[in-house]
Amino acid sequence: MSESFRLLQNRFVRAVMLSTLFSQMGIWVRNFAILLYVMEVTGGDSFAVSMISVAEYAPIFIFSFIGGVFADRWRPKKTMVWCEVFSSLSVIFVFAVLETGTWQVIFFATLCSSILSQFAQPSGMKLFKNHVRDEDAQSCMSLLQTITSVFMVLGPILGTLAYQQFGIEVSILTTGACFMLSAIALIFVPSDPKPSKYHDTIATTLLSEMADGIRFVFANKFILQLTLCFTLVGLGVGLISPLGVFLVTEKLDLPAEALQWISIPYGVGEIVGGIVTFALATKIAPHRFLMIGLLIDGFGIILAGLSTEIWLTMTAQFIIALLQPAIFVGNSALVLQHTHQNYLGRVMGIRTPLMTGAMLLMMSIAGLLKNRLSLTIVYELAGCCFFAGFLMMIPIFRSKSGREQSSA
């Protein structure tokens, strides 16, 4: 624990943690304010509500790889600062247009922020590579994951309160202020390496760098296995994401409103899992974190699909959420440790749309599979996706263990 908290003395970690805090606050206020505003203006029109998700997810497939290429070209600190600044300015623009009565412009805030995040996220990984030792990467990732986990519970409450108490205009301005504060916090990150270190990438073409990134992923067996493992996680998550309410209505024979009772242990598990992952980050190797998380999450998902008792379902939800931070932290730490800095942006640009695409694909057919098969079988399939990811990582685990024994 003391080793993990030692990282808080690192200027980079403090700045990034503060930036993440403001950014998460802005994202959740924006997301729920826009959702509630669109619901109110359109009278709950399903097409208008669905367009929010389109504005959020479409840029991932269009700009993620491109953003990763430019993240490898550009200086990461400067890229992240300007992305946050432009996000703030886009929100202020939306506020100005809203005053004219054109409510449709609200989608622009989500669209613009999502596009910019495709450039900022891989740049953030490069910052970690520049300023954090490989052995400290997992602790830093777990610290940021803890902040994200807390906001997954508190964010919806914060966003709803902001809209209900102050309306869409103040909520939008608050979002813009949060993004600007995030940019200011990033200014205190140590300076990027000198531009001379980037001259070799500037001379190449965009298409050749894309091709180099794809070749790097397929040539690096370790990164390829991690990418396929993360894609399997996306498949599993996508299968169960839309079906949580049916655990309540079909398996537990309770009204849909009872969904909140199984959501509570999930939220608690997210927070506790983030804290525990941070506390143990220096004691457990990232590949072990990943494999433990995959195995126990797979078991928790199957248990949730089989349960007909509310206490057992709540326990399963807690178990699933408890180990999720371990999966994401372990995977991200391994990518940082085993990817050359010049390719980190492109590797992230390839991995992100693969996982998101797998998740969205399964979300789109989850209801159909439930009707054709059964809710229990769909949950078992989702659990098997996690088990398949676990089996895929066993060769890595064995090679790591062998090297550790040799070192001893």
pTM over 0.85, yes/no: no
Q: What is the pLDDT, as a whole number, of residue 302?
A: 94
Distance from C-alpha of 309 to C-alpha of 7, rounded to nearest angstrom:
43
Residue 199: per-residue pLDDT = 44
pLDDT of residue 202: 46
* Residue corresponding to tokens 């600062």: 81
Q: How far apart are CA 2 and CA 94, in angstroms?
A: 45
Burial class from Cβ neighbours inside 10 Å (0-12, 13-18, 19+) for residue 9 reads: exposed
Measured distance CA(154)–CA(267) in Å, rounded: 9
Contact predicate 17/141, CB 8 Å: no
What's residue 211's pLDDT?
Answer: 82
pLDDT at 408: 36
CA distance linking residue 318 with residue 358, whole number of Å: 24
Cα separation, 150 vs 176, whole angstroms: 21
Length of the chain equals 408
Burial (CB < 10 A; 0-12, 13-18, 19+), residue 394, is: exposed
pLDDT the model gives residue 262: 80
Q: What residue ranges of the chain have pLDDT lower than 70?
A: 1-6, 8, 46, 192-204, 396-408
Q: Is 1 helix (H, G, I), strand (E, B) or coil?
A: coil
Q: How confident is the model at residue 377, as a pLDDT?
A: 93
Domains of the chain: 1-190+197-202 (1.20.1250.20), 204-403 (1.20.1250.20)
